Amino acid sequence: MPRLAACSAVFALVVLVGYLYVTEKQPVSVMSAIMRAMEGDDWEIEDLLPKEIGRQSQSQREEDSDDSYHSSSDDDDEDALLRPSRKKLPSSSLWQKYSRVLNRASLCLCAAVLACLALGSAAVIYSYRSQPRPELHWWQRAVIYQIYPRSFQDSNGDGIGDLRGIERRVDYLEYLGVEAVWLSPIFKSPMKDFGYDVSDFTDIDPIFGTMADFDSLLKALHARDMKLILDFVPNHTSDQHHWFVWSSGSRDESNPYRDYYVWADGRDGGPPNNWVSVFGGPAWTYVASRDQWYLHQFLPEQPDLNFRCPDVRRHMENVLRFWLEKGVDGFRLDAVKHLVETADLSWHEPPNPGYVSDPEETLEQYGSLLHPCTTNLEETHAVIREWKALLDQYSKKGSYRFMITEVYDDDMRVLMTYNREADMTFNFNLLGLGSGAHAPGNHTRRLVESWMSNMTDGQWPNWVIGNHDNHRVATRVGPQYARAANMLLLLLPGTPFCYYGDEIGMEDARVSYNDTKDTFALNNPETYETKSRDPERTPMQWNRTENSGFTDAGVRPWLPLHDNYHRLNVQVYCLTFINVLFPQTQRAHPRSILHLFRALVELRKEPTFLYGTIRYFLSTPNIFAFSRTLRGRPTYLVAMNLGGKSETHSYYSWWDGWPREAAVVLTSDMDREGEMLDLKALTLRPGECVVVKWGRAWN
Ligand code: GLC
């Protein structure tokens, strides 16, 4: 807008000066010219002169009859008055035409000047009016915090986290400023995939506590205005679920659970087709009692439900109703792209031409095939839409019930289809965040832009930098860049998902094969380190005492703690009595990554970050810089150096109305706040990210 105003004003000025210059050479009454031109009359130049002169001129002309051009020697004194103009303005028909055109041009120029001035003023007024802000739902405003329940807080000394433990830490969640919590599965489960193998969808596993503990946690969260999101695992159950136990018993018509799972006859003594499990190896397991094979797209202990069976659909809908009635605020839908398979189970999946085999792998890998028979079927989308409609019914009755789907896929169009069907699908782009070499600046821009530019109107973005299936962000990008990564997560437009512990920069722990618990890794002993998800699931680091406050001293936690917990934990990063007793620590604490996280949560509440647009201002091999703007609010520039050496760039832009200097709002090291930074030559250290702002709030 300021650009438009400036351009209009400059243009108006140029036009005005041009006009004055022209009329200097053509001294006629502008208003008369306008009137005449508007009436469309033929007129003489004398008509525009003062009356007496005009009259004299008329009589003179009559006297001169057909001689319209006099020599100066014959003129009397009065004629002399007219001489200069008559000399310059011969009343030949050519000149009359020329005058008419010139005066019509005057009219146009005047109109242009007025239009430009009006446009300029409108632009100025517009730029100081606030941008309309849509009503945002809670899940659009909130920072959503993912808790892996086994690893957050143990309350009963068994070395495994539980619901009471989480409730004990609700103060901490409030202190962080997060407004919603997503719990990985807490339902009854034999824990082959740590809760993602459910044996009862409507009961709590005793490891985590009781239904009363759940109710109490939900109440505690709601009491503090926090929402609770549960993990819904619809694609498969545990092989211990009574549905599967019954289903695998027989294929008799009389068996009501006969079709609850995906069963098929074998072929040539082997499985029905070539399908491969996500965890490697065949996706089929033989059951003698039915003399048939069942499908499992994950572990053999996780048989796939048959969503072509109406009873399964009805049951799963009832599961959602059960938790909605209890008052949960939303669901994260696990592995949904695998829900429905082709009706004809004899079809093979085609080989993936881009797959490069790894000689170290003993099992056939999921990536070796393409998956048109088992993923993203139209029937799958139909089921998701049904569930969304169900949640919408509940939203209408009270508070909004939120739904996000988990889909790992390379095809943006596929992801955007899921994104439209639920409130959102996870955006995993930032799991590919890089640092150091390999042009992380440009790369980050591509990751951000590819999501933003593929969204269609009305869709809401979200960002993930870590979860229970991927290495921790501080390990992936390096601890030096973890702060910048958190800044990116919280300052981009949309909803950020924070994985527990990332707010203090927790890193992957080394977990030996003997200590490994993840079945996916245990099934692949040769390559367990590349497969295991245990390193990112280790216990939360609360303090420097034995077991870091996660569980009692002397207890063996279900996974080993990272040995850096003595120096990297919530307590050393907080203002506690320890900091008071040891001023040295206290001086250090205000700049901790935990405080940075809290400051970011606060900053994100600023309307520019909630509603503002993003512009990719600069990306170089190492730098990624974007601005957030909202009319009527200050503009923010976020610039980060993800490379390995310091870099100086100019962020000043006259054209955009950006200043030469701007005030620092926040930096990754929290050491320059309040300073004025020279945007013409701003140096960023490796891993450094700064947020500066300018402009005033008008509303
Ligand atoms: C999802 C979960 C993962 C689990 C898998 C099978 O991808 O995030 O942890 O192993 O589904 O349920």
Mean pLDDT value of segment 447-458: 95
Mean pLDDT value of segment 662-686: 96
Q: How many other CB atoms sit within 10 Å of the CB of residue 176?
A: 18
Give the pLDDT band of residue 113 (cuts 50, 70, 90): confident
Which contacts qualify for 171-174: CB closer than 8 Å, 24 or more apart?
A: 172/570, 173/145, 173/221, 173/224, 173/226, 174/224, 174/226
Mean pLDDT value of segment 264-280: 97
Residue 430 has pLDDT above 50, yes or no: yes
Mean pLDDT value of segment 86-91: 47
Mean pLDDT value of segment 452-472: 96
Least confident of 36-50, 262-276, 625-639: 36-50
610: phi > 0 → left, psi -120 to 50 → alpha, else beta; which? alpha
Q: Which residues contact 557 (CB under 8 A, 6 or more apart)?
A: 154, 159, 160, 539, 547, 550, 551
301 lines ligand 1 (CB under 6 A): no
Beta strands 402-405; 424-425: pairing state: parallel
Per-residue model confidence (pLDDT) at position 577: 54
Residue 78 has pLDDT above 50, yes or no: no
Per-residue model confidence (pLDDT) at position 22: 60
**What tokens does 334 get?**
């696990």
Mean pLDDT value of segment 338-347: 98
Residue 5 has pLDDT above 70, yes or no: no
Give the pLDDT band of residue 3 (cuts 50, 70, 90): low
Residue at which a domain ends, from 79, 102, 130: 130
Distances (CA, A) of 95 to 54, 98, 159, 571, 630: 18, 5, 102, 91, 55
Question: Counting atoms of ligand 1 from 1, which one is nearest the CA of 193?
Answer: 10
Q: What is the DSSP letter of 332?
A: E
**pTM (two decimals):** 0.85
pLDDT in tens, 187-246: 999 999 999 999 999 999 999 999 999 999 999 999 999 999 999 999 999 999 999 999
For the residues of 280-291, what is the DSSP string, one character each?
A: SSBSEEEETTTT
Per-residue model confidence (pLDDT) at position 203: 98
Per-residue model confidence (pLDDT) at position 57: 44
Q: Which residues contact 49 (CB under 8 A, 6 or more apart)?
A: 57, 85
Least confident of 79-88, 183-192, 628-637: 79-88
The average confidence (pLDDT) of the chain is 88
C-alpha 324/C-alpha 238 separation (Å) is 23
When comparing pLDDT for 507 and 61, which is higher?
507
The percentage of residues in the chain with a pLDDT greater than 70, rounded to a whole number, is: 82
Is 634 a domain residue?
Answer: yes
Residue 490 has pLDDT above 70, yes or no: yes
Question: Counting atoms of ligand 1 from 1, which one is nearest the CA of 235?
Answer: 12
Measured in Å, residue 203 CA sits from the centre of ligand 1 at 19
* Domain harbouring 643, CATH code: 2.60.40.1180
Give the pLDDT band of residue 48 (cuts 50, 70, 90): very low
Mean pLDDT value of segment 144-171: 98
Per-residue model confidence (pLDDT) at position 93: 67
Per-residue model confidence (pLDDT) at position 585: 47
Tell me if residue 364 is catalytic.
Answer: no
Domain count, the chain: 2
Per-residue model confidence (pLDDT) at position 7: 58
Mean pLDDT value of segment 641-646: 96
Per-residue model confidence (pLDDT) at position 156: 98
Is 319 a domain residue?
Answer: no
Is 489 a domain residue?
Answer: no
Mean pLDDT value of segment 484-510: 98
Alpha helices in 398-527 (DSSP H): 412-421, 440-454, 473-477, 479-491, 519-522
Per-residue model confidence (pLDDT) at position 66: 43
When comparing pLDDT for 462 and 123, which is higher?
462
Pocket test for ligand 1, best of 338, 425, 469 (most atoms within 8 A of CB): 469
Residue at which a domain ends, from 107, 130, 153: 130
Residue 506 has pLDDT above 70, yes or no: yes
Least confident of 50-59, 169-178, 551-560: 50-59
C-alpha 128/C-alpha 144 separation (Å) is 33
334 lines ligand 1 (CB under 6 A): yes
Chain Cα centroid distance, residue 461: 4
Residue 40 has pLDDT above 80, yes or no: no
Give the pLDDT band of residue 132 (cuts 50, 70, 90): confident
Per-residue model confidence (pLDDT) at position 436: 84
Q: Which residues contact 22 (CB under 8 A, 6 or more apart)?
A: 102, 105, 106
Angle between helices 310-326 and 211-223 (to 10 degrees): 50
List the catalytic residue out of 205, 329, 341, 406: 406
pLDDT in tens, 381-396: 999 999 999 999 999 9
Residue 587 has pLDDT above 50, yes or no: no
Per-residue model confidence (pLDDT) at position 267: 97
Residue with CA nearest ligand 1 atom 12? 196
Question: Counting atoms of ligand 1 from 1, which one is nearest the CA of 520?
Answer: 10
Give the pLDDT band of residue 315 (cuts 50, 70, 90): very high
C-alpha 7/C-alpha 659 separation (Å) is 18
Mean pLDDT value of segment 661-668: 98
Is 681 a domain residue?
Answer: yes
Place of tokens 């099992």: 363
Give the pLDDT band of residue 619 (cuts 50, 70, 90): very high
Cβ(89)–Cβ(43) below 8 Å = no
Question: Counting atoms of ligand 1 from 1, which one is nearest the CA of 469?
Answer: 9
Residue at which a domain ends, from 130, 154, 186: 130
Residue 124 has pLDDT above 80, yes or no: no
Cβ(412)–Cβ(391) below 8 Å = no
Residue 583 has pLDDT above 70, yes or no: no
Residue 9 has pLDDT above 90, yes or no: no
Is 654 a domain residue?
Answer: yes
Give me the domain span that covers residue 52: 2-130
Taken as a whole, the chain contains a residue count of 699
Tell me if residue 334 is catalytic.
Answer: yes
Is 83 a domain residue?
Answer: yes
Mean pLDDT value of segment 87-114: 69
Residue 534 has pLDDT above 50, yes or no: yes
Pocket test for ligand 1, best of 334, 366, 524 (most atoms within 8 A of CB): 334
Is 504 a domain residue?
Answer: no
Distances (CA, A) of 267 to 235, 271, 284, 344: 25, 6, 12, 14
656 lines ligand 1 (CB under 6 A): no
Measured in Å, residue 529 CA sits from the centre of ligand 1 at 18
Mean pLDDT value of segment 342-358: 97
Mean pLDDT value of segment 608-627: 97
Helices (H) and strands (E) in the chain, counts: 23, 21
Cβ(278)–Cβ(520) below 8 Å = no
Per-residue model confidence (pLDDT) at position 18: 66
pLDDT in tens, 279-297: 999 999 999 999 999 999 9
Is 684 a domain residue?
Answer: yes
Mean pLDDT value of segment 509-514: 97
Per-residue model confidence (pLDDT) at position 466: 98
Per-residue model confidence (pLDDT) at position 43: 44
The percentage of residues in the chain with a pLDDT greater than 90, rounded to a whole number, is: 75
335 lines ligand 1 (CB under 6 A): yes
Cβ-based burial of 291 (10 A; exposed 0-12, middle 13-18, buried ≥19): exposed
